[in-house]
Amino acid sequence: MGYTFAEKVLARQAGLETAVAGQIVTVRPDKLLTHDNTSDIAKKFRSIGVTRVADPAMHVIVLDHVTPAANETYAASHKATREFVAEQGITAFYDVGEGICHQVLPEKGHAWPGAVIVGSDSHTPTHGAFGAFAAGIGRTEAAAVMATGEIWLRVPESLRVVVRGQFPERVSAKDLILYLIGQLRADGADYCSVEFAGEAIEALSIAGRMTLCNMAAEMGAKNAVVAPDATTRAWLAGRVTRDYAEIHPDPDAIYARVIEVDAGTLAPQVARPHRVDNVAPVTDVAGTKIDQALIGTCTNGRLEDLEAAADILRGKHIAPGVRLLVLPASREVLLAAIERGIIRDLVKAGATLLNPGCGPCLGAHEGCMAPGEATLSTANRNFKGRMGSKDAAIYLASPATVAASALAGVIADPRAK
């Protein structure tokens, strides 16, 4: 009997010969990711009665959610995190301006094939794009990992998504994952390990793979993964200096479900308010008025995302009455976009450039909406009140669709631009 990726990686990390779906294993994660919530987790950690973290080298801490601090409360939280990092001897700490945790962590070499990563953020599965097992955990669990260096996990059942063919022009990984979420619904992959495979997946860039794994959380996945290959190794070269062993599922592995998709049949997709699984082709919602457009976040703030938007906006100007917000996922992405002239093109088209970070996505500051307004966003969630007023509407789409819509002032099909 063959084994899935999740079964193999968790068995190895637990020191077992084999592990099967449903089995409880205790593992020592390679990395624990926390962000602005680190100060709260540190309080829980101290309440256990432990004074030192089990392994300072395990920690990756990024200040990204409300940065720079929007008020005294956030500033105090950031200060507490900086003090905790210094006290505990944690060196993988990235302060305000470095970017979003899910982008910064792999950029700085903290993700690699076969790694086990847990993070106090629901979109930690993003790092499965590098062939890692990456899962979100709660703050109390994170505090326990701080104290013990270990965590127990139930080995998830696995769902395999095989994507054949080639993506049509201006149809992207974001459209694929929105389509899948619409088909499977928000609970369609609950506590599953989602394996993405097929020639369309193999042709994706690392950025596209990160988008898929990031949003797998929106259909309930515990983790998502793309098998490492030459694309993975090339991206990690010069970033990851340690040796690693790639883990691939066995050809005869047993899956709870196998889903096949023809990429060539896909159209641009839009998630309508107020659920991520309320998905329709862009043609079904074309003409819907928007007040704000957002390109960025941990889902689509990478260089190729900004470039896709610039290709549509270059030499043009956004519609009157539309606010276009652009926030690169990291300092590295921002610098590359500046060097390529992408930022110049976006700003000349009327965009407002925000600092690398989460920004408007969580509605804590920057880009909040007023009652009755609508935003078309490249983010991963469109829940009521997510970006400000509970009486505002959030639609989700790809960078190309958002850019085309910012030009039109209404939701528009990017294939027509």
pLDDT digits (tens, 9 = 90+) for 218-270: 999 999 999 999 999 999 999 999 999 999 999 999 999 999 999 999 999 99
Same domain for 242 and 96: yes
pLDDT in tens, 68-112: 988 999 999 999 999 999 999 999 999 999 999 999 999 999 999
Q: Are 134 and 125 in contact (CB under 8 A)?
A: yes
Same domain for 227 and 304: no
pLDDT at site 97:
93
Task: Tell whether the model's pLDDT for residue 412 goes beyond 80.
Answer: yes
Same domain for 240 and 128: yes
pLDDT at site 259:
97
Please return the burial class of 278, using the count of CB atoms within 10 Å of its CB with bins 0-12, 13-18 and 19+: middle
Mean of per-residue pLDDT scores for the chain: 95
Q: How many domains does the chain have?
A: 2
Over range 158-180, report the average pLDDT. 97
Closest residue by Cα to residue 130 from 6, 228, 197:
228
Same domain for 216 and 175: yes
Tell me the two tokens of residue 300: 């689509």
Give the sheet arrangement for strand 31-34, strand by strand.
Answer: 93-94, 59-62, 31-34, 116-119, 133-136
pLDDT at site 58:
97
Dump strand ranges (E) for 200-332: 223-226, 257-262, 269-271, 279-281, 292-296, 323-327
Same domain for 168 and 64: yes
Same domain for 98 and 31: yes
- State the distance between the two ends of the chain, measured CA to CA, in whole angstroms: 50
Task: Tell whether the model's pLDDT for residue 378 goes beyond 90.
Answer: yes
Domain endpoint, select from 233, 261, 289: 261
pLDDT at site 388:
85
DSSP state, 167?
Answer: P
Task: Tell whether the model's pLDDT for residue 411 goes beyond 80.
Answer: yes
- Residues contacting 285, CB < 8 A, separation 6+: 270, 272, 395, 411
Q: Are 396 and 416 in contact (CB under 8 A)?
A: no
Closest residue by Cα to residue 207 from 177, 244, 164:
177
Dump strand ranges (E) for 165-315: 192-197, 223-226, 257-262, 269-271, 279-281, 292-296
pLDDT at site 361:
82
Dump strand ranges (E) for 64-201: 93-94, 116-119, 133-136, 151-154, 157-164, 192-197
pLDDT in tens, 329-371: 999 999 999 999 999 999 999 999 999 988 888 878 888 889 9
pLDDT in tens, 23-70: 999 999 999 999 999 999 998 888 988 999 999 999 999 998 988 988
Over range 285-305, report the average pLDDT. 97
DSSP state, 318?
Answer: P
> From CA 173, how far away is CA 269, in angstroms rounded?
10
Tell me the two tokens of residue 205: 């860039």
Tell me the two tokens of residue 324: 């276009």
Confidence of residue 320 (pLDDT cuts 50, 70, 90): very high
Same domain for 289 and 171: no
Q: How far is CA 303 from CA 65, 113, 326, 353, 365, in A?
A: 20, 22, 12, 14, 24
Same domain for 169 and 34: yes
Confidence of residue 417 (pLDDT cuts 50, 70, 90): low
Domain endpoint, select from 261, 291, 310: 261
pLDDT at site 114:
97
CATH of the domain at 115: 3.30.499.10
Domain endpoint, select from 199, 227, 261: 261
How many CB atoms are located within 10 Å of the residue 72 CB?
8
pTM: 0.95
Q: What is the share, in percent, of the chain residues with pLDDT greater than 90?
A: 90
Same domain for 102 and 28: yes
Task: Tell whether the model's pLDDT for residue 171 goes beyond 90.
Answer: yes
Angle at 16 between CA 10 and CA 18, to 5 degrees: 75
pLDDT at site 284:
97
Same domain for 215 and 92: yes
Tell me the two tokens of residue 244: 């690693």
Tell me the two tokens of residue 404: 């085309």
Structural domain of 221: 5-261
Q: What is the share, in percent, of the chain residues with pLDDT greater than 70?
A: 100
pLDDT at site 366:
85
Same domain for 327 and 382: yes
Same domain for 252 and 281: no
Give the sheet arrangement for strand 192-197, strand by strand.
Answer: 223-226, 192-197, 157-164, 257-262
Q: Output b/e per residue, 2-19; b: 16+ Cβ within 10 A.
A: ebbbbbbbbbbbbeeeeb
